[in-house]
Amino acid sequence: MSDPGRVLAVDVGGTWTKAAVVEGGPEDPAVRARRRVRTPRCADGTENAEAVVALVAELAARFAERDHGPVEAVGVVVPGIVQDGVGVHSVNLGWRDYPFREALAKAVGAPVAFGHDVAAAGLAEWRLGAARGLTDVVVMPIGTGIASALILGGRPLTGGYAGEIGHVDIGHGEQCPCGQRGCLDHVASAASVARRFGERSGRTVRGSAEVLRAARAGDRVAAEVWDEAVTALTRGVLLLATLLGPQRVVLGGGLALAGEALTGPLNRRLTEQITFQRRPELRCAAFGAESGCIGAALLAWEAVAP
């Protein structure tokens, strides 16, 4: 029999999938076990979606075996556009209109909550973390892609198509995999920082953290790539300030782990460029890269709440 309140949270990212057993309930969640594996990459989007379902089932079985029992529920969150239990579209993983909730329920053998990764991260930060107590806030994880969770007037905006800040045109003119040109995502995501540095330098890096280390060590190409990412993010935050007027923008995901190296120049440039808009405070996510998992756990508890 499972421990009271214990759930499995799975945050599927464009590069990595993070899973955690979370206990303590929605008021005081505590991560008891963690695992990180590469997100499956297959020949097409439907195969990717099916591989993700199989991975979640495998993770649930492994955690159950290691922790001597099943969990009460499973919360799974994925990137892209999500609506009514369906993965409508993911630019990075390619699926379209895949019935995740139905497929996961069959594969896992436990109650399943399914949602959007960034919306889940926003829920965690708003209820328990860096956005707690605010009525108007944007939570913007910066990982393989960029999106945002919107809390406006004290209520999360839950529309499946809302918050795709990574695919606004900031004017650089380059083609994005989504089909548009000029996307914020294509310059400023953690994956894009690593990719752009590799293209210009001819050196392969494992992630944006290596680019930042190289920039700090005096590498000119790394410094240029990092500077372009900060400039792009400034434009994105300024757009959010103009349209939504948030009290705070909470930065999460892999790139935000850079801390002051990101928020320092971003704050300075935002101060230089902002005029009449409300100046949003910038904060890094309280749960760091685990915001999505904590949010997935919150969804799982909601699914089995009496």
Q: What is the pLDDT of residues 241-258, one digit of tens each?
A: 999 999 999 999 888 888
Q: What is the pLDDT of residues 147-191, one digit of tens each?
A: 999 999 999 987 678 899 999 999 999 999 999 999 999 999 999
So what's the pLDDT on residue 1? 39
Q: What is the pLDDT of residues 40-67, one digit of tens each?
A: 999 899 999 999 999 999 999 998 888 7
Residue 258: how many CB atoms within 10 A of its CB? 23
Residue carrying the six token digits 């089909």: 179
The segment(s) of the chain belonging to CATH 3.30.420.40 are 7-121+290-304, 131-285
Which overall architecture, per CATH, does domain 131-285 show? Answer: 2-Layer Sandwich (3.30)
Burial (0-12, 13-18, 19+ Cβ within 10 Å), 156: middle
Q: What is the mean pLDDT of each run of 10 residues along the chain (306 residues)?
A: 73 93 92 92 94 96 80 94 93 94 94 94 96 96 92 86 92 93 96 96 93 95 97 96 96 86 94 95 92 96 88
So what's the pLDDT on residue 159? 66
So what's the pLDDT on residue 166? 94
Domain 7-121+290-304 is found in CATH 3.30.420.40: yes
The model's pTM is: 0.90
Return all residues near 238 (Cβ < 8 A) that are at least 6 apart: 270, 273, 274, 277
Extract the tokens encoding 228.
Answer: 């372009």
Measured CA to CA, the distance from residue 270 to residue 4 in angstroms comes to 46
Cross-strand pairs, 175: 181
Cross-strand pairs, 126: none
Three-state secondary structure readout of 123-152: HHHHHHCCCCCCCCEEEEEECCCECCEEEE
